[in-house]
Amino acid sequence: MDNRDKLSLLEKIEIEVSGKDKIETYYSRVEEIKDDSSTYLIMRPVSKGSYTYLFPGQELRVIFYRKDAKYFFDAIVLKGAKEVKGNFVEIGKVSDIQKLQRRDYFRLDIVVPVEVIIYDSDKNETKIRANTIDISGGGLKILSKYSLKESSNVDIKIQIPKINRKKIDAKVIRTIKSLNSEDMYETALEYGDIGINTRQEIISYIFSKQREILKKDIK
């Protein structure tokens, strides 16, 4: 593993903590790296302006990003904010650093305009407008006024840099009536054979947006 796959001093990170019903995500920053590179002093994790209390022995997951990849490792709290001077927490790495595998594409919740092109049996086109609910390197979920037929093939144009004019082959995995928006449908789409470069542009866009989120929460 090279240095780009390791945490750096003052690097912004995500902290995942398991709650009663769901995993909570907080944001932090590396303030000190001990000599063994397995112990870190981090800023007390924060989300939406509120700090969370971490107690000694508590398990958590540390996540950090590179240009086109997401890395993570499991850790345990060694000293909470009460045991460390200042608003910091000391954690110890208890697993190897792992790279998110291609089959486990990270999914980003974001609203981006999408054009969906539907074809009839005579190859005539019908274009509909939609917005993403989330997007990943393997597919996306959209919100639209249309109930798209499951297993049908469509083309999509996602309004993100570098590929916004490109038609992307996709397959409708499922369509359900939205519980949050009246008279709207949520459709899961899986990319077809879109090529390595196009997929990489999508992944790079996702991680650039995730880094922006980290910068906003940790200043």
Nearest-angstrom CA–CA distance, 186 and 13: 31
Q: Phi/psi at 203 (nearest 5 deg)?
A: -65, -40
Query: May I ask the CATH architecture of the domain 3-100?
Result: Roll (2.30)
Residue 98 predicted with pLDDT over 80: yes
pLDDT band at residue 9 using 50, 70 and 90 as cut-offs: very high
Nearest-angstrom CA–CA distance, 134 and 105: 12
Residue 36 predicted with pLDDT over 80: no
If one counts every other C-beta atom within 10 angstroms of the C-beta of residue 126, the result is: 11
Residue-level pLDDT at 20: 67
Helical (H) or strand (E) element with 196: helix 196-217
108-209 classified as CATH 2.40.10.220:
yes
Residue-level pLDDT at 2: 52
Which residue ranges make up each domain of the chain?
3-100, 108-209
Residue pair 173/139 in contact by the 8 Å Cβ criterion: yes
Residue 1 predicted with pLDDT over 60: no
Give the tens place of pLDDT for each residue, 125-145: 999 999 999 999 899 999 999
- Classify the C-alpha dihedral 121-127-132-137 as positive or negative: positive
Residue 22 predicted with pLDDT over 90: no
Residue 73 predicted with pLDDT over 80: yes
Residue-level pLDDT at 52: 87
Nearest-angstrom CA–CA distance, 97 and 99: 7
Residue 115 predicted with pLDDT over 80: yes
Residue 214 predicted with pLDDT over 80: no
Residue pair 95/76 in contact by the 8 Å Cβ criterion: no
What number is the average pLDDT over the span 198-203? 88
Rounded to two decimals, what is the model's pTM?
0.60
pLDDT band at residue 66 using 50, 70 and 90 as cut-offs: confident
Q: Residue 89: which of 55, 31, 44, 50 has the closest Cα? A: 44
What number is the average pLDDT over the span 150-170? 92
Residue pair 73/120 in contact by the 8 Å Cβ criterion: no
